Amino acid sequence: MSLYSRRGVSAQKEEVHQATAGLDKGLYPFAFCKIYEDFLGKDPQWINLMHADGAGTKSILAYLYWKETGDIGVWKDIARDAVAMNLDDLLCVGIYDNLLFSSTIDRNKSRIPGEVLRAVIEGTQEFFDELSHYGIHIHFLGGETADVGDLVRTIAVNGTMTARWPRSKIITNEKITPGDLVIGISSSGRSNYEKVYNSGIGSNGLTSARHDVLEASYGHYYPESVEPLLDKDVIYTGSYKMTDLVKTETSEEISIGKLLLSPTRTYAPVVKTLMEGHYEAIHGMIHSSGGGQTKCLKYLPGPMRIVKDNLFTPPVVFDLIRNASGADDREMYQVFNMGQRLEIYTDPSAVDSLMNTIAQFGLESKIIGRVETSAKKELLIDTGKNQIGY
């Protein structure tokens, strides 16, 4: 059993998929988000979509960092995580504007004071204000804030995003076909719409990252950050404190806490530009979130093989996690995005124009792989050292 599983988390969400297997898949079963007919406007040329996601256990890292440093600003970053994880899923079906957002915050009031709630809510609105400068308008409709100390040890920050969109401008992944190339966009570095370096971690795999990297004292001083039923040999097994410094691939020094808490990058500004100028060239899009580099398998429209043999060199944060955990490539690429969180499927003739547009935002992109014919749905990842089949 993998460390990820022993910590009570499933990278592939097998039980979730089993529980939802009998549900309606919506109008387009291979689309990245479930799409329904226009119940709101009753117009056959439009679709409706509602999607929920959140910051996950990254909020526990924020809690530890806040307790250790007193930096309340880290909670504003958690708000960005909850928004970006929703927004970037919707980007993969082509939706990038005129969105509705409702926040859900569950807290343990004895540990999470009002100033934390205020930082999360203010951080949400500040992020929306920033995005509006790029023509991405998200309307904050409030939400639910509940004091549920019997259920939540610290805080859970989630949200729901709703959209109504023209049916003629959606991405359903049905156009993905053998012969397509796969463009990957880096999750790390600094785009021209970000203020600081981004480690690329996103909001997935943070349960393992936290326990693998941080030292045992965190479990001793903050037992509320740990599931008490876990085996002791998988709890905070690392050697780092939150305030320890490491060098990034850009040679700047950053604390371990800030590295792991780096806000989830949104690709909304670049996807908006791609959708408005290159819509016909985009055959499919995948947000490499839960499931990491294997996420794409779920959304293939038929039997075919994806070969990823030119992925990005993993950024420092993933080397740190790998070295601390001893995890092999199969687990790392299943759990983490490994430096690439958005992939675009397109015809070879469109690659240059798409990549030139992406470069305008200060984002690194490259052809990470291709789609081949196959008798079944399968994925091959070639890391340069290992070939891994899924």
Q: What is the DSSP string of 75-87?
A: HHHHHHHHHHHHH
> What pLDDT score was predicted for residue 17?
62
Q: Is 224 a member of any domain?
A: no
Q: Is 311 a member of any domain?
A: yes
Q: Is 375 a member of any domain?
A: yes
**Angle at 37 (CA atoms; ends 36, 40), nearest 5 degrees:** 105
- C-alpha 344/C-alpha 367 separation (Å) is 9
Nearest to 148 by CA among 183, 192, 104, 200: 104
Lookup: tokens for 238: 């690392």
Q: Is 68 a member of any domain?
A: yes
- C-alpha 187/C-alpha 173 separation (Å) is 22
- C-alpha 129/C-alpha 132 separation (Å) is 5
Domain that holds residue 160: 3-196+262-389
Q: Is 368 a member of any domain?
A: yes
> What pLDDT score was predicted for residue 15?
74
Strand ranges in 64-134 using DSSP code E only, listed in sequence order? 99-107
* 41-to-27, 100, 124, 356 alpha-carbon distances in Å: 16, 15, 28, 37
Q: Which residues contact 319 (CB under 8 A, 6 or more apart)?
A: none
Q: Is 290 a member of any domain?
A: yes
Q: Is 203 a member of any domain?
A: no
Lookup: tokens for 228: 């008490």
> What pLDDT score was predicted for residue 4?
58
Q: Which residues contact 321 (CB under 8 A, 6 or more apart)?
A: 205, 208, 209, 212, 213, 327, 332, 336
> What pLDDT score was predicted for residue 9?
72
- C-alpha 80/C-alpha 266 separation (Å) is 9
Q: Is 244 a member of any domain?
A: no
Sign of CA dihedral 207, 211, 213, 217: positive
Lookup: tokens for 192: 């021209």
pTM of the model: 0.94
- Note the maximum CA span of the chain: 58
- C-alpha 349/C-alpha 360 separation (Å) is 19
Report the first-to-last Cα separation within the chain, whole angstroms.
17
CATH number (domain holding residue 127): 3.30.1330.10
> What pLDDT score was predicted for residue 16?
67
338, 263 contact by CB (below 8 A): no
227-255 core/surface letters (b: 16 or more CB in 10 A; e: else): eeeeeeebbbbbebbbeeebebbeeeebb
Number of domains in the chain: 1
Q: pLDDT in tens for each of the 390 residues of the chain?
A: 666 577 767 656 667 667 777 788 899 999 999 999 999 999 999 999 999 999 999 999 999 999 999 999 999 999 999 999 999 999 999 999 999 999 999 999 999 999 999 999 999 999 999 999 999 999 999 999 999 999 999 999 999 999 999 999 999 999 999 999 999 999 999 999 999 999 999 999 999 999 999 999 999 999 999 999 888 989 999 999 999 999 999 888 999 999 999 999 999 999 999 999 999 999 999 999 999 999 999 999 999 999 999 999 999 999 999 999 999 999 999 999 999 999 999 999 999 999 999 999 999 999 999 999 999 999 999 999 999 999
